[in-house]
Amino acid sequence: MRNILKSCVFMFVLTLASFFEPAHAGVNIVEVTGRAALSDQYTSDELRRMALEDALYLAALQGEARVDGFSFIDEMTNLTEQVLVRPGDTILDYSLLEENQTEHHFEVKIRAVTGHIDDTCSSSMKSRLNIYRPQINMARNAPAWAAGLAQKMVSILVEAIDTSENLEPVNQMYMDYDPVKAQRVGSAMDYNTIMTSSAVAAGDFAVAPRVEIRQRRENLGYVAKSKQLDIIVHIDVYDHIGALVTRKSFPVTHRAGFEFYLDTVNILTAPSRDNLLDQFSSDFKHFIMDFGQEFSCRPVTGKLTLDKDNRLRVDFGVAKGVSQNHLAVVAGNETPWTVLRVVEARMNSVFLETLDKRRENAVFDGKTVRFMELGQ
């Protein structure tokens, strides 16, 4: 009987789906009521579990459904079609809202988070990247004009971030970045420390470029040598407390000319500096565009803090694209998988609560939370 009811529910959902497309794919919050028919052969605890199972099934079915079918022929050569309806979504978390017993059913109402946590790029939250003065390390034998390459590559970095939909550059190239000082700011937020250190706001990132330039010679027999210009660009990204988030390196080499015994030949075979700049810039653009795309797709994470009112807070908010009803997840070796929801969003902070109100907020103090897309 329950299988027939589930099939009817599926046909109803399928009919609605033909008229309405889902607004967003990903993660959804749903409230459903599961029912179990009253029967003397079941205890109240068994009825409660059956109703909960029905509610979880209906919750998972609201996102998507998978239909499998098969047919068989019985001894009387009657062809019978069988349809299996299986939910395509996963229950990420749920909480019990209420239990009720009517004249014919035991009912359980739940609020569930369903869907799939997708690691592909779907973030709509902005990340602000503070770009600091690059550290340039030039070998003594490197040509002096190559120093302009470092500035050129930093300009390309800023342009790539500026054109990214989810990244925003902040020019801090008047000062060096020191992750040790940034860590001190986290515990000493006085005015002088902030104004004289490389401090970034919670949820923002610091980009500290490093450029290595050197020139080497390769023997081409007894007649000549080839001059190779090697450039390595390191992109170090730190969070607001000075912890390294990611590090990318881009090595590139181009021939900078030849060395013959005749100076005239050396001059004639030397490539123009403009051409070398264009070659290095073109190669670096591809690298930095890939870096920008990868970084803009990083999951948005924050540190949970328990305030004096026993509320869980993260120190960034609407300015980062986080809004009320956004979902977040906490998962770790010492913390059970838990889904939280933003219940209040301010410009620079948000307050969250667990979906299951029975869980103590103090357990999550200091934990890292990952924000997800809310598909509704």
The mean pLDDT value for 192-217 works out to: 76
- Backbone phi and psi for residue 62, each to the nearest 5 degrees, phi listed first: -65, -30
pLDDT digits (tens, 9 = 90+) for 96-128: 888 999 888 999 888 887 776 655 555 556 778
Name the 3-class secondary structure at 289: helix
The residue from 240, 269, 296 where one domain ends is: 296
3: pLDDT strictly greater than 60: no
pLDDT at residue 362 above 80? yes
Both 9 and 139 in one domain: the answer is no
Task: Tell me whether residue 54 is in a domain.
Answer: yes
d(CA 97, CA 115): 20
> Residue 47 falls within a domain, yes or no?
yes
Shortest CA distance to 199 belongs to which of 168, 238, 159? 238
Domain shared by 152 and 276, yes or no: yes
Q: Which of 232, 243, 236, 283 is nearest to 133 (CA)?
A: 236
Among the listed residues 57, 59, 45, 30, the one whose alpha carbon sits nearest the alpha carbon of residue 99: 45
Report d(CA 297, CA 314) in Å as an integer.
20
DSSP secondary-structure letter at 363?
G
CATH number at residue 325: 2.40.10
Of residues 14 and 299, more confidently modeled: 299
Per the domain annotation, does 120 fall within a domain?
Answer: no
- Name the CA dihedral angle for 81, 86, 88, 90, rounded to a multiple of 10 degrees: -170
Q: Out of 39-43, 60-64, 214-218, 301-305, pick the least confident.
A: 60-64
Low-confidence winner among 7-21, 63-77, 183-197, 216-230 (lowest mean pLDDT): 7-21
Specify whether 311 is located in the same domain as 288. Answer: no
Range of the domain at 89: 2-115
DSSP state string for 202-253: TT-EEEEEEEEEEEEEEE-TTS-EEEEEEEEEEEEEE-TTS-EEEEEEEEEE
Clarify whether residues 286 and 310 are in a common domain. no
> How many domains are there within the chain?
3
Residue with tokens 């409230």: 31
Q: Name which of 85-94, 299-308, 326-335, 349-358 the model is least confident about.
A: 85-94
**Domain end among 296, 327, 353:** 296
* Residue 313 banded pLDDT, cuts 50, 70, 90: very high
Q: 363: buried, middle or exposed (CB in 10 Å: 19+, 13-18, 0-12)? A: middle
**What pTM, to 2 d.p., does this model score?**
0.61
Q: How far apart are CA 338 and CA 128, in angstroms?
A: 28
Alpha carbon distance 143, 279 (integer Å): 16
Task: Confirm whether 161 is domain-assigned.
Answer: yes
121 within some domain: no
Last residue of a domain, one of 253, 281, 296: 296
pLDDT number for residue 217: 75
214 and 66 in a single domain? The answer is no
Phi, psi of 175 (to 5 degrees): -145, 155
326-352 residue pLDDT tens = 878 886 656 666 778 888 998 888 999
- E strand or H helix at 293: helix 273-296
- Other C-beta atoms within 10 Å of 110: how many? 21
Q: What is the CATH number of the domain that holds 174?
A: 3.30.160
CB contact set of 7 (below 8 Å; sequence gap of 6+): 83, 85
pLDDT of residue 57: 77
Q: Is 61 in the same domain as 131?
A: no
Q: With 60 as the cut, is the pLDDT of residue 192 above it?
A: no
